[in-house]
Amino acid sequence: MRKRTVCGKNFTMKKSALLLGLVLSMGAVASAAPAENYEAGKVSIDLGTTISPKLEVSPGTSFDASNDFSGGLTVGLGHNFALQYGYDKTGAKEVNTYYEDVGYTEKDNGKVTANTVNLLYKINPKVSAYLGNRHVSGELNCQWGGYDLDGSFYADKTTNVTASKNYVQAGLIGQTELAKNLTGWGNIGVGSGLLTCQVGVGYRVTSNLTANLYYDYAQYKDMASYNGQNFDITTKGLKAGITLNF
């Protein structure tokens, strides 16, 4: 039986999973060393990128991704409260699949953006809690080929697939001083079908600048149903960035 392509009819389960991964792969909330000051008017800005991103689709496959940009803004509201906004844009590296029987190369690429708003409350100097919403949208561009009912092959069809979803989340952020100017921190968030966690270190370069290195993990259970199959999406990778405090 001849293979069908990702965007053609009657494609295989593995290719269905790849399609979902490209469309629905998630960038976690833009995050870095937690903001320390929740006083009214205090501002922290996070900027970063992913060094070695990975994406897994279950059932399905695993492939590399690329992170274009991540950023965040935390504004102190006073009385131990702060408001946080996070933005993350992730591009899926182009996947080229060659079909030897027809000498045709299929090309798939996509991008994902995540916008998150959290309300933070500082329980004590080392622990904060948060509640918020994460809106995720994705897009897949697919150049493909397939077979007509008469068995003839056609090529260079173009399909654009989009998806979006909101996740309500709650979580905890903790931090502790490891050495002079070096802070260790962690962040865990949960929601219906959602689990995210981050573990990292921040080095204070100056009073207003911190350099961050951290590992990020996000899992989305039953993220979507496609071609009669439910899929889980997992993203993970090492991230680096800076935090500016004002």
Write down the pLDDT at residue 194.
Answer: 81
Helix ranges (H only) for 116-162 are none
Residue 7 has pLDDT above 60, yes or no: no
Each residue of 41-60: pLDDT tens digit?
A: 999 999 988 887 776 666 65
pLDDT band at 5 (very low <50, low <70, confident <90, very high): very low
pLDDT at 208 over 60: yes
Where does residue 21 rank: exposed (0-12), middle (13-18), buried (19+ CB within 10 A)?
Answer: buried
Q: Name the residue among 83, 88, 47 with its Cα closest to residue 243.
A: 47
171-195 tens-digit pLDDT: 999 999 999 999 999 999 998 878 8
Return the pLDDT at 177.
94
How far apart, in whole angstroms, are the C-alpha atoms of residue 183 and residue 227?
46
What average pLDDT score do residues 24-37 get?
Answer: 56
Residue 82 has pLDDT above 90, yes or no: yes
- The residues near 58 (Cβ < 8 Å, ≥ 6 apart) are 17, 231, 232, 233, 234
